[in-house]
């Protein structure tokens, strides 16, 4: 017997704005699972866990203990970095040192990594 990841839940000061931003990043549509305050993203093909944005009253204060890694699908890592920065991502320094990926933060400051495309 085992469990599988069903959903990744992200606390957000503004769940609608976060869901809209991540929808643009991932190209996943937004749904409203539990009323108008929570927003869910789901891959168009239904593969993988969904992402749920839940409202919280407080702003993010410390480094995330869990983060998303994203990789470019139809672009180089440099092109995808430019696109993410144009959407409002910003570089983040969490002490990563010299690495082959980019540590970024979304509009609410949640860290995520842009990693080189993985071989399928």
User: For every one of its 120 residues, what pLDDT tens digit does the chain have, with 9 covering 90 and above?
Assistant: 888 888 999 999 999 999 999 999 999 999 877 677 899 999 988 888 899 999 999 888 888 888 999 999 899 999 999 999 999 999 998 777 787 889 999 999 999 999 998 755
Say whether both 82 and 107 belong to one domain.
yes
The whole domain housing 20 covers 1-58
**pLDDT of amino acid 120:** 53
**pLDDT of amino acid 101:** 86
Say whether both 93 and 110 belong to one domain.
yes
Closest CA to 70 of 115, 7, 30: 115
Neighbouring CB atoms inside 10 A of 87's CB total: 13
Say whether both 27 and 77 belong to one domain.
no
Residue with tokens 């539990």: 34
Say whether both 113 and 72 belong to one domain.
yes
- Give burial (CB, 10 Å; 0-12/13-18/19+) of 115: middle
**pLDDT of amino acid 3:** 87
pTM of the shown model? 0.88
**pLDDT of amino acid 64:** 81
Spatial distance between the Cα atoms of 110 and 120, rounded to a whole number of angstroms: 28
Structural domains of the chain, count: 2
């Amino acid at each position: 017997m085992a469990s599988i990841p069903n959903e990744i839940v992200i606390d957000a000061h503004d769940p609608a704005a976060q869901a809209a931003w991540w929808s643009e990043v991932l190209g996943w549509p937004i749904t409203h699972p539990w009323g108008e305050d929570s927003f869910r993203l789901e891959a168009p093909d239904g593969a993988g866990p969904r992402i749920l944005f839940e409202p919280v009253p407080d702003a993010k204060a410390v480094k995330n203990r869990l983060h998303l890694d994203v990789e470019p699908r139809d672009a180089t890592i440099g092109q995808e970095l430019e696109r993410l920065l144009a959407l409002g991502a910003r570089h983040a320094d969490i002490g990563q040192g010299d690495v082959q990926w980019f540590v970024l933060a979304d509009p609410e400051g949640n860290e995520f990594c842009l990693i080189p495309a993985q071989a399928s």
